[in-house]
Structures are given as structure tokens and as C-alpha cells.
Amino acid sequence: MTRDVSQEARQKVDKCRQGLACLSKRESPRCPVRSTVRGVLFVKNIAADHCPYGMSFGYSHICTCPVRWEIYDRYGV
């Protein structure tokens, strides 16, 4: 069973090196969410320092992945 996200979000994530593994309910997304502020998703760690959708922001990390945002928005994960 998988998590549902929009086709639009999937199409925007053409650089994902994990094959959209975060869509599987068996796996937790690699970057747990700390908080959101004005449409910015702050994550606890950027387990994928090599992830093209992660970026350092001072001592924090931001996730810019449209699929990750939609997973958080729909499922609170």
C-alpha cells in the first residue's frame, strides 16, 4: 500500500534518487518534520545530505521536495 500524492507533485520530483521511497507506508520519510513556517518545511535532519531537495539553513535543514510536503500536509507524517 502506498501514500497518495498528486500527479503534479510526482512530476515535479524528477531528481529523486530514492525512487520516491517515502510514498511507501512501510517506510517513514527519511527527513522527519520539525516544523513548518510560512510554507517552509523544516526537517530534523537531512538524512540525504546528497538529496537535491534538501538544503542547510543555519543549524536547521529545509526540505523543498513537493512530494514530501504533500505527505506532511495530507498525512501529518
- Give kind and range of the element (H or E) at residue 70: helix 66-75
User: Which of helix, strand or coil describes residue 37?
Assistant: strand
CA pair distance 7, 10, nearest whole angstrom: 5
More confidently predicted of 72 and 1: 72
When pLDDT is averaged across residues 64-77 and rounded to a whole number, the result is: 89
What pTM was estimated for this model as a whole?
0.81
CB burial of residue 63 (10 Å; 0-12, 13-18, 19+): buried
Each domain of the chain, given as residue ranges in start order, spans 7-75
What pLDDT digit, counting tens, does each position of 12-65 carry? 999 988 888 787 776 677 788 899 999 899 988 766 566 888 888 888 889 999
CA pair distance 22, 70, nearest whole angstrom: 11
More confidently predicted of 45 and 3: 3
